[in-house]
Amino acid sequence: MTVDAATAERWERRIHLGAHPLLYPMIRGLGSIRPVLRLPGLGVLVSEAGLVREVLMDQQRFVKNGPSGSGALWTPVVGPKALVNMDGEEHKQLRQRLGDLFTPRSVAGIVEPAAAAFQARISGKLDSGRSVDVVDCVKDLAGGVISRLLGVPENAPGRLPNKELFNLGSSISSLVRLGRPTLTVRQIAKGRSAVGILAGPARVAYRESDPGTFPGRLRELGMTEDEAMGIISAFVMVGTETLVSFLPRLVALLSDSGRIGELASHRSTVPAVINEALRFTVPSPMMLRDAVAPGFIGETKVHPGDRVLLSTVHATKSLGSFDPDHAIPAQARQLWFGAGAHFCIGMPLAMAEINKTLEILLDRYLQHPWTIARRRVSTGVLIPGYKTLELANA
């Protein structure tokens, strides 16, 4: 099968336009005009990969926990010490303490049960000749991972279904809007309510001090109960939405570009393909920072109090069409996970979920090729993605 880059491009464009029919073309268009632009009422838009990285690396002038930065959005919901809303030495020390929780062995223990359920569902549907919705399966996978982060056994009485756990996490992250630097009183109440439901079983696991659970390990590290709940809530709300956006898009991208059969047979290029798909789809399309000192971003003067909009969607997508055979330029490598002190600490967990899910789908393709039967893009959402992506036996 020949590589069909045009089909892949067309569907990715539909995904973005479905999510943001006005905002996405505006941001991409403005990024094409100048690498840095001051937008009245919004902030300073940075659209070039090298400059985006420069801002992320500079903790002295640009902070995550300023009044309009992304970190400050979450403080009223998850508390002041959830890692995603911290800066400076305190952030550095907490990150170091959490580092051992995301070793390959640790993340495998979190992902494996959910991945096994994902595989069983995919195989069960396709073996019976029915289609299977990858989006729905990935939501279930994400819920299973959330369950492990909460320290809830699969057979626990009253355990919420995986889909409900995902929906709770998604309901928190969906509160964010680019044009609004803070959450409303109603949104804060909604977020706290979801966190309260999620934190219930996590508090039980924390109090039981079981080192085999994620909350139990946080207690071993000396976290107070409230600090542990804030950290767990942050991981749940920050990672789930982007993962459920990316995985179905990865599957569609490989199918649409005609690369799925070759990749299923020759797995050595999987790491490069995944990285290129992350660059091309950009599941974290925008990052926020606050300027706290005067200076310049490129040739644009920046003042203390300026909100800085880092357009990763333009910085990485503007480098070209999906092509795993070409190396990603150094300034853009892993930019979708951030850079510097706030580089995504949960990246090993996300990559474990991505790699395991793709492995399952590639194994299935070798056993019995599948094809995309139907799909719909999501509309009016924060993170662009598919609403449904149904696979069927070819």
User: Residue 4 class from Cβ within 10 Å (0-12 exposed, 13-18 middle, 19+ buried)?
Assistant: middle
C-alpha span between 226 and 232 (Å, rounded): 10
Which CATH number does the domain housing residue 248 bear? 1.10.630.10
CA distance 226 to 75: 13
Torsion of CA 94, 96, 98, 103, to 10 degrees: 170
Cα separations in angstroms, 372 against 248, 249, 255: 11, 12, 8
Nearest-angstrom CA–CA distance, 35 and 48: 5
Q: Which residues form the domain of 49?
A: 5-393
Tens of pLDDT, residue by residue, the chain (394 residues): 344 778 889 999 999 999 888 888 888 888 888 999 999 988 999 999 999 999 999 999 999 888 777 777 778 888 888 888 888 898 888 888 888 888 888 899 899 999 999 999 999 999 999 999 999 999 999 999 999 999 987 777 667 888 888 888 887 777 766 666 678 888 888 888 988 888 888 999 999 988 889 999 999 999 899 889 888 888 887 767 888 999 999 999 999 999 999 999 999 999 999 999 999 999 888 899 999 999 999 999 999 999 999 999 999 999 999 999 999 999 999 999 999 999 988 899 999 999 999 999 999 999 999 999 999 999 988 889 999 999 999 9
Strand pairing of 132-133 and 300-302? unpaired
| Structure tokens, 224 | 């107070």
Contacts of 254 (CB under 8 A, 6+ apart): 260, 263, 273, 277
> Residue 24: which of 34, 9, 33, 14 has the closest Cα?
14
Q: Looking at the whole model, is its pTM more than 0.75?
A: yes
Q: For the CA atoms of 367, 115, 135, 386, what is the dihedral angle to 10 degrees?
A: -90
**What residue type is assigned to position 39 of the chain?**
L
Only one residue has tokens 């996300």, namely 350
> Total domain count for the chain?
1
